[in-house]
Structure 1
Amino acid sequence: MEQEPTAATDVIRPPGPSGYPVVGNLVEFVRDQYAFTERCAREYGDIAYYEVLGRSFYQVNSPEGIEHVLVHNNENYVKGELFQESLGPVLGNGLLNSEGEFWRRQRHLIGPAFEPDRIAEYAETMVERTEETAAQWRDGAVRDVNEDMMELTLEIVADALFGVDVGRDVDTVASSLEVVMDYQEGLSADMLPVDVPTPGKRRLDRAIADLERVVYRIVDERSRNPGDDVVSRMLSVEDETGRGMSREQIRDEVMTLLLAGHETTALALTFTTFLLAQHPRVERRLLDELDEQLGGDPSGFEDVRNLPYLEKVVEESMRLYPPVPGIIREATDRDEIAGYTIPEGATISINQWTVHRDPEYYDDPMAFRPERWTAEMEAELPPLAYFPFSAGPRRCVGDRFAMLEAKVVLATLLQRYHLELVSDPSLDLVATITARPRDPVMMRIHERD
Structure 2
Amino acid sequence: MATTEQTELPPGPRGYPLLGNLFQYTDDRLEFVTRNAEQYGPVTYFEVPNQSFYQVSEPELVEHVLVQNNQAYIKGELFQQALGDALGDGLLTSEGTDWRDQRHRMQPAFHPGMLEQYSTMMTAGVERLLETWEDGETRDIHEDMMHLTVEIAAETLFDVDVRDEQAEVSAALEAIMDAAEVPVDIPSWIPTPRNRRYEAAIETLDDIADRIVEKHDGGRGDDIVTILLTAQGKEITRERVRDEIVTLLLAGHETTALTLTYTLHLLGRNPEQRERLQAELAEVLDGRTPTMADLEDLPYTEQTIEEGMRIYPPVWELIREAAEPDELGGYEIPVGATVSMQPWVIHRDGRFYDDPLSFRPERWTDEFKRSLPKFAYFPFGGGPRRCIGDRFAMLEARLVLATIAQEWTVEPHDDLSFAPSITLRPDGPVEMTVRRR
> What is the TM-score normalised by the length of structure 1?
0.94
2:372 aligned partner, one-letter code: L
Q: Is residue 214 of structure 2 the alignment partner of residue 220 of structure 1?
A: yes
- Residue type at the aligned position of 1:383: K
Picking from 127, 130, 136, the partner of 1:131 is 127
Give the aligned partner of residue 235 of structure 2.
244
What is the rounded CA distance, in whole Å, between the counterparts of 1:194 and 1:360 in structure 2?
43
| Residue identity opposite 1:223 in structure 2 | D
Q: CA deviation at 1:224?
A: 5.5
Q: Which residue of 2 aligns with 1:291?
A: 282
Q: CA deviation at 1:197?
A: 5.1
Instruction: Say whether residues 1:209 and 2:203 are aligned partners.
Output: yes
Aligned CA distance change for structure 1 residues 135 and 295 (closer, same or farther; 3 Å): same
Structure 1 residue 238, shift from structure 2 partner: 2.4
1:447 aligns with 2:432: no
What is the correspondence of 1:305-320 to structure 2 with a 5 Å cutoff? 305-320=296-311
Pairwise mapping of residues 366-377 of structure 1 onto structure 2 (< 5 A)?
366-377=357-368
Residues in 1 aligned to 2:193 and 2:359: alpha-carbon distance in whole angstroms: 41
Partner of 2:114: 118
Native 8 Å contact 1:53 1:191 kept in 2? no
Secondary structure of the residue that 1:446 maps to in structure 2?
A: strand
Residue in structure 2 matching 1:106, options 98, 102, 105? 102
The answer on 1:436 being equivalent to 2:408 is no
Indicate yes or no: 2:365 matched with 1:394.
no
Q: Which residue of 2 aligns with 1:347?
A: 338
Structure 2 Cα separation of the partners of residues 195 and 57 of structure 1: 27
1:122 to partner: Cα distance: 1.0
Q: By how many angstroms is 1:200 displaced?
A: 2.5
| Aligned-partner Cα distance in 2 for 1:200–1:392 | 34
Query: Aligned residue for 2:150?
Result: 154
Separation in structure 2 between the aligned mates of residue 11 and residue 90 of structure 1, nearest angstrom: 39
Check if 1:71 corresponds to 2:60.
no
Q: 2 CA distance for matches of 1:289 and 1:201?
A: 47
Compute the displacement of 1:68 (Å).
0.3
1:271 counterpart residue number: 262
Identity %: 49
1:393 match: secondary structure: helix
What is the distance in 1 between the residues matched to 2:147 and 2:24? Answer: 34
RMSD: 1.4
Report SS of the residue matched to 1:254: helix
Q: Secondary structure at the match of 1:136?
A: coil
SS at match of 1:48: strand
Give the AA of the match of 1:419. V
**Alignment partner for residue 281 of structure 1, among 227, 252, 272?**
272
In structure 2, distance between residues paired with 1:394 and 1:50 = 26
| Equivalent in the alignment of 2:46 | 50
Partners of 1:369 and 1:14 lie apart in 2 by 35
Does residue 335 in structure 1 map to residue 326 in structure 2? Answer: yes
1:59 aligned partner = 55
AA aligned opposite 2:393? A
Contiguous gaps of at least 5 residues in structure 2: none
Q: 2:107 is matched by which residue type in structure 1? A: G
> What is the CA-CA distance between 1:362 and the residue it aligns to?
0.8
CA distance in 1, matches of 2:187, 2:374: 36
Cα separation, 2, equivalents of 1:152 and 1:198: 30
Once the two structures are superposed, residues 374-395 of structure 1 have per-residue CA deviations (whole angstroms, 9 ceiling, x without a partner) of 2222111111010000000000
Instruction: Check conservation: 1:169, 1:214, Cα contact below 8 A.
Output: no
| Whole-angstrom distance in 1 between the partners of 2:58 and 2:338 | 16
- Partner amino acid, structure 2, of 1:212: D
Matched, 1:258 2:239: no
Structure-2 separation of matches of 1:165 and 1:199: 30
Match of 2:163 in 1: 167
Match of 1:32 in 2: 28
Runs of 4+ deviating beyond 2 Å: 9-12, 190-203, 224-228
Which residue of structure 2 aligns with residue 141 of structure 1? 137
Report the AA paired with residue 116 of structure 1: P
Any conservation in 2 of the 1:312–1:370 contact (CA below 8 Å)? yes
